[in-house]
Amino acid sequence: QVQLVDAGGGLVQVGGSLRLSCAASGSIFSIDGMGWYRQAPGKQREVVATITSGGNTNYADFVKGRFTISRDNAKNTVYLQMNSLQPEDTAIYYCYADVRIRDVRTMVIRTYGYWGQGTQVTVSS
């Protein structure tokens, strides 16, 4: 069993900052890509930022220069530092991870995708 727990959301004023975190736990062999997605009311879930196990990052155009994704592989944790927040950043933010799990009987390693439960970010004007 693998669980992703994301946290750090809240209510912030325009121009403010928040730092989200997402910790993975359970029977983890290793973690490949991790990322943050968001879903605003009435809209589809969209990618915000992703990071590989080696630290290569990609950002959606609407957050470039404002958000920074990072990870601590030793802690199986991914972070999202969000600065200069705007009302349009209001959404539920979800972390995602490609988790490699080794079957203890066959020793075969497979990759599964897991989502966090989501954390609400609200930016007030």
Q: What is the pLDDT of residues 61-79, one digit of tens each?
A: 999 899 999 999 999 999 9
pLDDT band for position 97 (cuts 50, 70, 90): very high
Q: Give me the residue label for tokens 């009435």.
A: 42
pLDDT at 1 over 90: no
What long-range pairs does 6-10 form, CB within 8 A, spacing at least 24?
Answer: 6/93, 6/94, 6/95, 6/116, 6/117, 6/118, 6/119, 7/119, 8/119, 9/92, 9/93, 9/119, 9/120, 9/121, 9/122, 10/120, 10/121, 10/122
pLDDT at 85 over 90: yes
Task: Give the percent of the chain with pLDDT over 90.
Answer: 98
Q: Give me the residue label for tokens 């944790």.
A: 77
pLDDT at 36 over 90: yes
